[in-house]
Structure 1
């Protein structure tokens, strides 16, 4: 299956946007925005409408997506416009929370049967598990077929966001590049380095980080990251995986879709972690990085306290938002020899926003999603803010919406570095039952997790990373095999081979023809 979404990038005028969760962008500090904590019944107010006889329906929305943070965020501006247009009839109250707060709050709400009308999948879970747990209501009958047709091909896939023929969510973004080198031009210039020539190799990155740290004299450092995050949001695991993709892209991220086996103990991962340890030994990492939240790290980067930050596509607009005077550039993450790294995405997103199964206002929630939350007016604001590429190509192709010069580089990096990887759910939708059994492919029930292991070795609490990762892989591979065996015993037509794509060429998009070859 070849994605029209990434093809759409070819048309862009580039010269002129996860236990883990999720795919979407995460915020990292509570904004203290009003609304959303009370139930819809308790918060509904009688506004009278034009005749004074109609009660205003209040829709509650909870999420950890950073595009909901702050009154000027694209999400809050979209909600304000919707509320104004529907005054006296429907009002949406959105509550933004940092992921750590959100994960706890949404679990408590589910346990007490008080989920908000619309909620985001928490980290380290996905749509398949949410549906199996009975938390969500399908969109069918609430949103139109025309609404679905506005999205790019492959946006809705059985076994991902469509379960047993019913639709439960939509792709929040277009293709997402999860690894970008952000470099502070002013910091490089002050250290006597070329601000227009970012490092391309590991050696260059290490040497430049040393020079910046030496000239910074305890105030400015070479590298910063959000090491205080957990799970898939961990700045440590993001850093390592970003580097590993320049060596062995099919193994970066821990699961090798060629073999259908977990590969956290790959040489690429171990070598990348060793490089991170070298930066630490050099003293080139800003010391607070090991406890910083991701947003805190980007603020320090934007304030000129570090030269380099490796993070995903969301960091660009967050730096712009929180430190608007920052003078920075974007580049591909350095690799051992300067070669181009490769990163991957899938067309249908197993995470996103869903309508609660307990919602008493599902019809109005569906109207809000169709007319505002998952509609062109929102995605226009989304692109104009630089959040990400959207799942609607006509918006991505509108160069008049590009917010600042850095966005052109951002688009070019997406075009150059992203490829469509194989998806086990496309090959066999019944693999959804395996994922429900596991919680997610990352198997969040198995502790300590990948980021926990990296952090324990980086801090010196543990030794021998290869041995720890081999043991972790063994647990994960056994878990996958056991889950497949269990659902097969229950009647599912599924096999471990459904997770194996031996014909995957990582330098190309994985297409419908490639799936057909496996049959």
Structure 2
């Protein structure tokens, strides 16, 4: 039984076509490992002479590359008339690549929304088409009800994107137990001073071969996540990545908590405790070097678990909460927020087959969801899958700590109907928070305090401008009843009305 479309949306014209020359297009091998700078998607292959069609899929799901490869094999076996051409990029590579492809009219059949872009904007610019007519009622009904949200997966009665997983924080710290033991670190650090001291010991012991901390410093989004989580864990009121909130009427980038967080990072740099390759590598590369024993600590997400279990089964590691300033207690990081993922390109010539691909991703017959849950890649948005297959001990540890140390923060979209217009209007201020962290690590920024003040002032000005431009009350960005030690609830939103 098909879902019935109950309404229509007026879509703006497709972005004017331009050529795709110069993007360095290369075909995917289908092994899910195309993460180089020149990785891209080959031009559309509409139909082979034997009647087989090609579905082109592009995303950044490197944490589940092995599972996706196996899924593609099973899918193609069950659908001999469909060939999957899959390309995986890093998050940073993806945004530029997908925009170029869509402008040329050569977008892939299936792709996610880039980080920082709202569903409303993507739909208005003609990126996606509703999937209602192509999927079944049973497909939607198997999801956790919390896996849907207006402006994230749906717009009115139209369903545009699916979420890959339930939101879990992506900022916990992994630690190598063997390295800490070799360096004489007997207790897992919880505070800034304990963490810094542990990193010093490891770096001295490593003698140029092993360092305290490594991360994907080349990826601005990872640096942003680290800074925001450290500031929140220090007690600051900071929105989740790519979201906007004010504290006392201003952008909270120069708060004491944010200054303390960046001071902590600078202290690690001054000690020589951060791996020297950090500023030049991506998150997947950092994950590999950590597994190879080149650093004691890494700040990333649950996706690491499955990769290490598959490629480094003897890696002796644990998971710890985000460190906090000395003497600070009862603080929490921003809980993960639901985000859009895969949708069907508006100009896809194979929407029915693309929908078959989407439904198969969540079908137990093909094993993609359960293999990711079993391996620790993510928490599924299909409750039945989690109940049956969440057995990985590292995943359980990450999930438990994440639940204990995170709280739901308020979100503008749930408060003001003009929020999506605001997010579409607001412009990024540079250097951004992530760029400032990159500057600290590369030592090109020494006065981070001034950089944060400038960012806070310029961002406040931009948020006010964007609010006025879309007719939104700037005060909507302030949540005066927000207690950062508690989950922000629907009742809290109601009290502000």
TM-score, shorter chain, exceeding 0.5: yes
| 3-state SS in 2 of match to 1:477 | helix
| Residues 118 and 294 (structure 1), Cα distance of their counterparts in 2 relative to 1, 3 Å cut | same
Aligned with 1:511 (options 477, 489, 497): 489
Partner residue in 2 for 1:220: 210
Partner residue in 2 for 1:105: 97
Q: Are 1:76 and 2:63 matched, yes or no?
A: no
Partner residue in 2 for 1:6: none
Residue pairs, 1:233-382, within 5 angstroms: 233-234=222-223, 237-251=224-238, 255-256=244-245, 261-336=250-325, 337=327, 339=329, 341-345=331-335, 348-349=338-339, 351-370=340-359, 372-376=360-364, 377-382=367-372
Contact 1:343-1:418 at 8 Å conserved across structures: yes
Partner residue in 1 for 2:133: 141
**What is the aligned-residue RMSD (CA, Å)?**
2.6
| Residues 414 and 365 (structure 1), Cα distance of their counterparts in 2 relative to 1, 3 Å cut | same
Aligned with 2:157 (options 165, 171, 192): 165
Aligned with 2:448 (options 450, 462, 465): 465
Alpha-carbon deviation of 1:46? 4.2
| 3-state SS in 2 of match to 1:469 | helix
Distance 1:448 1:142 in 2: 43
TM-score calculated relative to the size of structure 1: 0.82
| 3-state SS in 2 of match to 1:245 | helix
Alpha-carbon deviation of 1:260? 6.4
Distance 2:171 2:39 in 1: 33
Distance 2:290 2:320 in 1: 15
Alpha-carbon deviation of 1:252? 6.3
Partner residue in 2 for 1:201: 191
Unmatched runs of 5 consecutive residues or more in structure 1: 1-26, 48-54, 489-493
Alpha-carbon deviation of 1:353? 1.3
Range with greater deviation from structure 2 (451-460 or 108-117): 451-460
Range with greater deviation from structure 2 (113-122 or 320-329): 320-329
Contact 1:154-1:347 at 8 Å conserved across structures: no
Aligned with 1:39 (options 37, 44, 52): 44
| CA deviation profile, 1:487-516 (whole Å, cap 9, x unmatched) | 22xxxxx43233332222222222222222
Distance 1:320 1:174 in 2: 21
Q: Are 1:450 and 2:433 matched, yes or no?
A: yes
Alpha-carbon deviation of 1:329? 0.7
Distance 1:74 1:259 in 2: 46
Distance 2:336 2:412 in 1: 10
| 3-state SS in 1 of match to 2:146 | coil
Unmatched runs of 5 consecutive residues or more in structure 2: 1-31
Aligned with 1:85 (options 73, 78, 94): 78
Distance 2:169 2:415 in 1: 24
Distance 1:149 1:504 in 2: 33
| 3-state SS in 2 of match to 1:380 | helix
Structure showing greater relative contact order (alpha-carbon pairs closer than 8 Å, 6 or more residues apart): 1
| Residues 126 and 333 (structure 1), Cα distance of their counterparts in 2 relative to 1, 3 Å cut | same
| Residues 36 and 280 (structure 1), Cα distance of their counterparts in 2 relative to 1, 3 Å cut | closer
